[in-house]
């Protein structure tokens, strides 16, 4: 699973409202020819996470359809577009997707043609699963999501440093900056 923005791999943080893509590709095309994104949920990446279902039965959930698009792509490469959002008290957004890989000729990996009817048909129902010639996998990725001007605070036993994010920084850059500031503060004392 890859996260992309404007066709390029996502390497830094996003701001709330910016669009990004969750891309699922079949790596072993000798064994499987098709992929279907069955379901995805967003979470706040905490130990006991707050979870929000955003995709189910191959379609955006009725609660998320305003910021999650239907899956598009070829048989062996599917993607969904999401407008970045954040959970309260968390700057990281985890995306966990269940995908189905199918062999050539298996139509169960076809994306639904009408998600409005899928949402109506599946309310309160559990879907049936059959395992013949299929593989189901759970994939995940994490992205940092910020509000413009948001202050990131990192605290440990010896230092309390903060930096205002004005542009998108990779999380490792922020950690490096905090470590350097901590070392400087320690030397000055």
**The domain that contains 79 carries what CATH number?**
2.60.40.4100
Both 156 and 142 in one domain: the answer is no
Closest CA to 86 of 138, 29, 121, 46: 46
The whole-angstrom separation of Cα 124 and Cα 30 is 37
The whole-angstrom separation of Cα 89 and Cα 134 is 39
Both 85 and 173 in one domain: the answer is no
The whole-angstrom separation of Cα 3 and Cα 140 is 10
Rounded to 5 degrees, φ, ψ at 85 are -140, 170
Both 158 and 142 in one domain: the answer is no
Q: What is the mean pLDDT of each run of 10 residues along the chain (189 residues)?
A: 94 93 90 92 94 94 86 89 94 96 87 76 47 79 92 46 42 45 47
The whole-angstrom separation of Cα 45 and Cα 48 is 8
Both 22 and 72 in one domain: the answer is yes
Both 38 and 81 in one domain: the answer is yes
Q: Which residues have CB under 8 Å from 185's CB, separation 6+?
A: 159, 161
What pLDDT score does 43 carry?
Answer: 97
Both 158 and 172 in one domain: the answer is yes
What pLDDT score does 155 carry?
Answer: 39
Q: How many domains does the chain have?
A: 2
Both 140 and 167 in one domain: the answer is no
Both 113 and 156 in one domain: the answer is no
What pLDDT score does 99 carry?
Answer: 95
Both 94 and 170 in one domain: the answer is no
What pLDDT score does 111 carry?
Answer: 84
Both 134 and 156 in one domain: the answer is no
What pLDDT score does 30 carry?
Answer: 86
Both 41 and 88 in one domain: the answer is yes
Domain extent at residue 167: 151-188
Helix (H) and strand (E) counts for the chain? 2, 13
The whole-angstrom separation of Cα 189 and Cα 112 is 63
E-strand stretches of the chain: 2-5, 8-9, 14-15, 19-25, 34-43, 51-56, 59-60, 72-74, 77-83, 92-102, 134-146, 151-155, 160-164
């Amino acid at each position: 699973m890859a996260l992309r923005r404007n066709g390029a791999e996502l390497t830094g943080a996003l701001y709330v409202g910016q669009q990004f893509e969750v891309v699922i590709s079949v790596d072993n095309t000798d064994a499987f020819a098709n992929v279907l994104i069955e379901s995805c949920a967003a979470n706040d990446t905490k130990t006991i996470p707050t979870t929000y279902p955003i995709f189910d039965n191959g379609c955006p959930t009725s609660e998320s359809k305003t910021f999650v698009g239907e899956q598009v792509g070829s048989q062996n490469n599917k993607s969904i577009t999401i407008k970045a959002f954040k959970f309260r008290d968390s700057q990281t957004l985890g995306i966990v997707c269940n995908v189905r890989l199918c062999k050539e000729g298996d139509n169960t990996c076809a994306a639904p043609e009408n998600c409005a009817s899928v949402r109506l048909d599946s309310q309160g129902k559990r879907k049936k699963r059959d395992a013949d010639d299929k593989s189901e996998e759970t994939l995940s990725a994490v992205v940092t999501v910020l509000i413009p001007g948001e202050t990131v605070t990192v605290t440990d036993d010896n230092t309390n440093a903060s930096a205002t994010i004005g542009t998108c920084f990779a999380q490792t850059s922020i950690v490096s900056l905090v470590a350097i500031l901590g070392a400087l503060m320690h030397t000055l004392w």
